[in-house]
Structure 1
Amino acid sequence: MTEDAPNRRALGGVLAAIAVSLTGTRISTIALPWFVLVTTGSATQTGLVVFCEMTPYVVVKAFTGPVVDRIGPRVVSWTTDLVSATAAAAVPLLHTLSWLSFPLLLALVASIGAVRGPGDLAKEVMVPEAAERGRIPLQRATGLSGMTEGLASTLGPAVGGALVALLGPLTGLFANAACFALGSVIVALALPRGMGHGASAGASTGYWRRLGEGFTFLRGELLLLTIIVTAGITNLLNAGFVAVLVPVWASESGNGPGAIGLMSAALGAAAVGGSLIAAVLAHRLRRRVVFFTGFLLAGAPRFLILAVDAPMAAVLAVFAISGFGAGFLNPVLGAVLFERVPRPILGRVSALGDALSWAGIPLGGLIAGVAVASVGFVPVLLVGGAVYFLTTNLSGLRPEWREMDRVKGRGSPKPGHARDAPSTGAQLGA
């Protein structure tokens, strides 16, 4: 076996783990809200469940960056996926036994969120090392990562919608648990033991000092801070849209959970195409143009099409166009992050950036549920689409975005391994 073979296998293992765990999460985004909606009949309680899952996700993720840097992302990934699998399986099992109260459901989803945050972070920060081991340009690796996410976002909702429509939401919840378990096995057995063993830089310093180093670095990066604020607002809107507005639309329109799966699959399949193009051609294009064009397609159109009572074919077409635009976002964001952050502090900076950009997600479903109950479904869609459009366009006027088109070699990849000239892109939860 040549030296290159295990290196390429490292990236394949990371992408496989991302694909499996994200597929389960996408199944859950259909199964869990639908389960709550049909058992309680309350959009507000549906939003509350999302709030209780995403709040610990964001908070715990923010503070586990130094831990990931210290003990290594491989160990963090497989252990947290195993815990997620156990908690996710408990939800349908306890409901079947008639032991699942609503407070207990909230506690279980909170525990899933608390361990899923570090698990997602660990997989994310293994991408640049896996690219380096395989001598794969960073832009291409982040493009492949984005394509993997798109495939999972296509397969997961399609499977989730079909399972919920044919066999009920409990089956979807069991499938989510199985995906987490498989992801844990892949990381534990397929990835080299020496991979992501933990950064030596700063290992002897205390936890709070290492966390402070991440804050200090992030404060000096105006481009990353601007990206985080923009992503934070759009993530809040996306959370309310996916967790509450789409299920309410499916229920009120009579299309049911199968339609949710079709819409998500159309969006995800088109996102795969966008990410594939990003992997092949993005280094030849101006990042700002690609980024803001992608946001223009990915955001407001989805809100507006559900507000006008359009036929299903039109809804699917708009979601496909939005997915194509979204496919370009995370590859660009991912490479920007990996380029600008030194490898020894990548975990803590990524954790802080992700947590800040995801801070509104726990509130998204809660706000959407309360808003729908207060002012109605269509007004919430129209306001959400308008805010999305204004946020992405007004943000683009800030001068910091000019830095996006300039490679900043602060990272520490080996020469010729994980660098793609002249430009690249990462992931802050767009």
Structure 2
Amino acid sequence: MSAAPGTTASGARTAAAGRRSPLAALLTAQYLSAFGNAITVVTVPLYVLHTTGSTATTGLAGFIGAVPLIFAGAVGGVLVDRFGGRRLSVLSDLAAGLLVLLVPLLDATTGLPIPLLLALLFARTVVATPATAARMTLLKPVTENAGARLESVNSWYQAAPRLGLVAGAPLAGVLVAATDSVVGMYVDAGTFLVAAALVTFAVPGGEANKGSAQSGFGFFGQLREGMALVRTMPVIGAMTAFVVVTNFLDDAFTPLFLPVYAQDVLHSSAAMGWFLGAVGIGSIVGTFLYGPASRTFLSSRRYTLFGCFAMVAVLRLLLVLQPGAVGVTVICFLTGVAGGPLNPMLSTVMLERVPEELRGRVFGLTGAMALTSAPLGVLTAGWLVDLAGLRVPMLCFALVYLVLIAASWRRPALKDMDVRPAADGPRAAEEADGADEAATLTSTASADRSVETDRASDTGPGKVRTR
């Protein structure tokens, strides 16, 4: 007897919902994580400033909480490939949630000395960072299972930190004003724990790579294996180098140029809030825009890369003309829109190109490399502003964008961004050969360094980006 048409349609809808639920759970975990992290970013400095009255100690707290990002991403990437993305995401979130929970509990009971708070912040970042690479390794399988486009899913995924900051930061300010304590850390701890539960019960796959765990490479040998892949896949190396340089230029904009502009040019500290809000909202719009736009006028990834950065450079050149508060706010919004498509586009290329068994290492390593240039950019910009005033550094930083685009325009590696790996052709074959070469290089290295890697593995993964 054949099934009734209504029953068949209902079953199909149920099956489709079942395929989409892991993706929905993973995206929800990412948004919860970003929301909780934004609350901590606001709560901790306000708490330290209120408790100590020292801006130097407040700055130290921010530094201590951020410095593990530089090394923990690369280290965590190896652990992701060793133990599996799903397992490490859960363990990372659980450990970070418990550490965060200690902050308000100690503050409300025995007290929370500043050295202990700094230690907890440092440990929180160390254990929370691997979850970033871990969830990224899970994204492609659940996207394919749901039958969704990787570009569209990446738009939603990469919007989480920006949307979390826009929504979480005001809530954190309200909580601090209302409670005069670190009660917002309870919210952050809760988001960690709920994210861990979602990945545990609703996201399949992400199993450990047995070849990685048993290869005999040792911990540092496996990290070198990720580096070898980056070297043998020019498109990944070229994108990483491009982002390292642009992070140097870009990360001076919000924490340095905008505050100085608001204070010295507009003589209004309140204008800074408008600028930050405009950048954040523009970034969210631009990030969500990439999904549908990647089908049409942003279909070329190379042109998207160069076009977005060229727009950012031109918009920042306009700031040299020193428009009023409204003009700067509009420029900030448009800058956010222009930069929004970059992260989802770059992560889409990497998910397509990097072999599944190496994604943790490559995502962790390239993320750590990109982060290292940001502090140097802020320091350099600050020194230049003291030396030459505001206009000259802003002009120089914007012009370097254009010089970088001109210098990179003809690079063959960046042209490969538009070559889909599934397509037949010489470039696809070159990428496959590159991956095989990486495996060959590292396999040969393991035979020559067996004693060395055994010693390295004895050190073990003793150290486990913020989320």
Q: Name the CA shift for 1:323/1:350 in 2 (closer, same or farther; >3 Å).
A: same
Say yes or no: does 1:406 pair with 2:419. yes
- Using the TM superposition, name which of 398-407 and 323-332 deviates more: 398-407
Is 2:36 the counterpart of 1:29?
no
Any conservation in 2 of the 1:271–1:326 contact (CA below 8 Å)? Answer: yes
- Residue 224 of structure 2, aligned match among 212, 222, 236: 212
Aligned partners of 2:66 and 2:125 also within 8 Å: yes
In structure 2, the partner of 1:415 is none
What is the letter of the counterpart of residue 351 of structure 2? F
Partner of 1:293: 307
1:354 equivalent to 2:367? Answer: yes
User: What secondary structure sits across from 1:196 in the alignment?
Assistant: coil
Aligned equivalent of 1:329, options 338, 342, 352 = 342
Match of 2:189 among 169, 177, 180: 177
Q: Distance in 1 between matches of 2:287 and 2:45?
A: 28
Shift of 1:22: 0.8
Q: Hey, what does 1:235 align to over in structure 2?
A: 247
- Taking structure 2 as the reference length, the TM-score comes to 0.73
For residues 71 and 154 of structure 2, what CA distance do their matches in structure 1 show? 25
Q: CA deviation at 1:352?
A: 0.9
Of 313, 338, 352, 1:339 maps to 352
| Stretches of structure 1 lacking an aligned partner (at least 5 in a row) | 411-427
CA-to-partner distance for each residue in 1:86-124, whole Å, 9 max, x for gaps? Answer: 323333444555843333232122111101210111112
* Paired letter, 2:344: P
Contact 2:258/2:275, CA 8 A, preserved across alignment: no
Q: Does structure 2 retain, via aligned residues, the 8 Å contact 1:144–1:275?
A: yes
Is the Cα contact below 8 Å between 1:300 and 1:386 reproduced in 2?
Answer: no
Structure 1 residues 185 and 359, CA, compared in 2 at 3 Å: closer, same or farther?
A: same
1:197 aligns with 2:207: yes
Pair 1:282-2:291 in alignment: no
Q: What residue is the counterpart of 1:151 in the other structure?
A: 163
Counterpart residue number, 2:69: 57
Cα separation, 1, equivalents of 2:184 and 2:392: 32
Contact 1:80 1:118 in 2 (8 A): yes
Mapped partners of 2:294, 2:233: distance in 1: 23
1:89 to 80, 101, 104: 101
Please say which structure displays the higher CA radius of gyration.
Answer: 2
Tell me which residue corresponds to 1:132. Answer: 144
Q: Note if contact 2:93-2:193 (Cα within 8 Å) is conserved in structure 1.
A: yes
Paired residues of 2:259 and 2:269 also in contact (CA < 8 A) = no
Distance of 1:153 and 1:357 partners within structure 2: 20
Q: Return 111-120 or 291-300, whichever deviates more.
A: 291-300
Q: Which residue number corresponds to residue 19 of structure 2?
A: 7
Could you say what the CA RMSD is over the residues aligned between the two structures, in angstroms? 3.7
Query: TM-score normalised to the size of structure 1?
Result: 0.79
**1:21 CA drift (Å):** 0.3
Is the 1:287–1:405 contact (alpha carbons within 8 Å) kept by the matching residues of 2? yes
Aligned equivalent of 1:394: 403
Secondary structure at the counterpart of residue 205 of structure 1: coil
Alignment correspondent of 2:458: none
- Residue 422 of structure 1 is matched in structure 2 by none
Residues 33 and 243, structure 1, Cα contact 8 Å, conserved in 2:
no
Deviation of residue 134 (structure 1)?
Answer: 1.0
Which residue of the partner structure matches residue 108 of structure 1?
120
Choose from 221, 238, 258 the match for 1:226.
Answer: 238
C-alpha separation between the residues in 1 aligned to 2:399 and 2:167? 31
Change (3 A) 1:81 1:202: closer
1:74 and 1:197 in contact (8 A); partners too: yes
Query: Equivalents in 2 of 1:169, 1:300: separation in Å?
Result: 43
**Identity across the alignment (%):** 27
Would you say the 8 A contact 1:53–1:362 is kept in 2? no
In structure 2, how many angstroms separate the alpha carbons of the residues matched to 1:331 and 1:49? Answer: 30
Equivalent residue for 2:32, pick from 20, 23, 45: 20
Q: Is the 8 A contact 1:11 1:130 kept in 2?
A: yes
